[in-house]
């Protein structure tokens, strides 16, 4: 990806090179910068697995779920990914316990990569102020990584149950 400065904000221009990004990431990145991390992951995943109605519902529902519920709590990439994962697993007929186990698997993988699932911890010490998103390029970089990793982990989990 290439970071460029536009008139009002920093933007990522996605450069696709072979296997540089998986298709599920591409599906999610179409939302990025126009939607928050939670909407981006949830809707990208649901679009990728062909659940357009659920995607539309979550897009409308998750307006305030980004930035850790706008309070730097649980990372919005985690929230959106878990919502989509739970929906898809439910549609595939998994039991509540099986869905819970897969959700724990997802959170464990996310923690392994980033050390936490909490927005504030992901951004600290790089950012100590609550800059509006995505005007801060370091925040955009960190959050883009969480989005990409989260959707790839969901894909691994869903593909493992087919």
Q: Are 150 and 107 in contact (CB under 8 A)?
A: no
Reported as a single tens digit per residue, the pLDDT across 43-57 is: 999 999 999 998 888
Q: Are 62 and 36 in contact (CB under 8 A)?
A: yes
> Residue 123: pLDDT above 90?
no
pLDDT at 17: 29
Q: Are 33 and 139 in contact (CB under 8 A)?
A: no
> Residue 132: pLDDT above 80?
no
Tokens 């998750």 belong to residue: 62
Task: Work out whether the CA dihedral 146, 147, 150, 155 comes out positive or negative.
Answer: negative
> Residue 108: pLDDT above 60?
yes
Q: How many CB atoms lie within 10 A of CB 96?
A: 10
Reported as a single tens digit per residue, the pLDDT across 73-89 is: 789 899 999 999 999 99
* E-only strand ranges, the chain: 2-5, 10-13
Angle, alpha carbons 127-20-23 (nearest 5°): 95
Domain boundaries of the chain, sorted by first residue: 22-160
> Residue 158: pLDDT above 90?
yes
Return the percentage of the chain with pLDDT > 90, whole number. 43
> Residue 39: pLDDT above 60?
yes
> Residue 20: pLDDT above 50?
no
Among the listed ranges 46-55, 96-105, 132-141, which one has the minimum average pLDDT value? 132-141
DSSP secondary structure letter of residue 8 = S
């Amino acid at each position: 990806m290439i970071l460029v400065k536009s008139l009002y904000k920093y933007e990522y221009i996605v450069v696709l090179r072979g296997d540089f990004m998986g298709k599920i990431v591409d599906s999610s990145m179409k939302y990025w910068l126009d939607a928050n991390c939670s909407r981006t992951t949830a809707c990208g995943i649901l679009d990728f697995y062909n659940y357009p109605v659920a995607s539309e519902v979550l897009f409308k529902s998750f307006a305030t779920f980004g930035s850790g519920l706008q309070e730097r709590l649980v990372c919005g990439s985690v929230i959106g990914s878990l919502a989509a994962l739970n929906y898809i697993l439910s549609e595939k007929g998994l039991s509540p316990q099986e869905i819970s186990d897969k959700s724990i698997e997802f959170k464990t993988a996310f923690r392994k990569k980033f050390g936490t699932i909490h927005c504030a911890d992901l951004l600290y010490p790089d950012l100590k102020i609550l800059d509006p998103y995505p005007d801060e390029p370091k925040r955009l970089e960190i959050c883009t990584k969480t989005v990409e990793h989260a959707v790839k982990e969901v894909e691994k989990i869903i593909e493992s149950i087919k």
